[in-house]
């Protein structure tokens, strides 16, 4: 079985990694941990107004965050997984929705696992829902792991 685990370093992606780690997967199963380094946001329509170093620093920060998320998820799985689970990793630049869907199809994933931030209202409208887009358009099964601790704190 090929499991694509999409992580972003948030508490919700930690919950998704823990869910993958706690399951007894069939022999020969593979987990690919994927993190997307989002493209830098340009705060002004005049791209010439910002120095070139701004874009380079933003790209590096995104790549560093993606690598940290992958490392954290890999450690969570290795600590909890008892069976011989093959783990590979990849950080890809782009937009999360598109990269996860494309990589799931390209790699031939049987299951995509990702966390849900559970945004509602204006926040969801502005940020979008990666998990909803993946669930709606993936060509394989998708498991969305809810982050209960975070949801309880946001309600307060």
pLDDT digits 0-9 by tens, 94-104: 999 999 999 99
Q: What is the pLDDT of residue 125?
A: 43
- Reduced to 3 states (helix: H, G, I; strand: E, B; else coil), residue 49 is helix
Domain boundaries, the chain: 2-155
Cα 50 to Cα 39, 109, 153, distances in angstroms: 15, 40, 37
- Count Cα atoms within 13 angstroms, Cβ side, for 112: 31
pLDDT digits 0-9 by tens, 12-21: 899 999 999 9
CA angle 17, 19, 22 (to 5 degrees): 110
Q: Which of 62-66, 75-79, 124-128, 140-144 has the lowest mean pLDDT?
A: 124-128
CATH code for the domain defined by 2-155:
3.40.50.620
- Reduced to 3 states (helix: H, G, I; strand: E, B; else coil), residue 79 is helix
- Rounded average pLDDT over 20-25: 90
> What's the predicted TM-score (pTM) here?
0.83
């Amino acid at each position: 079985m090929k499991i694509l685990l999409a992580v972003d370093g948030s508490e919700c992606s930690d919950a998704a990694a823990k869910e993958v780690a706690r399951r007894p997967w069939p022999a020969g199963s593979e987990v690919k941990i994927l993190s997307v380094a989002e493209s830098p946001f340009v705060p002004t329509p005049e791209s010439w107004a910002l120095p070139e170093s701004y874009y380079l620093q933003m790209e590096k920060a995104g790549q560093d965050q993606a690598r940290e998320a992958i490392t954290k998820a890999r450690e969570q799985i290795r600590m909890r997984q008892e069976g011989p689970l093959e783990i590979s990793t990849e950080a890809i630049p782009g937009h999360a929705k598109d990269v996860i869907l494309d990589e799931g199809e390209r790699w031939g994933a049987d299951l995509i696992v990702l966390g849900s931030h559970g945004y509602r209202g204006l926040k969801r409208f502005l940020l979008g829902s990666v998990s909803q887009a993946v669930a709606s358009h993936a060509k394989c099964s998708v498991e969305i792991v809810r982050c209960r601790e975070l949801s309880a704190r946001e309600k307060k």
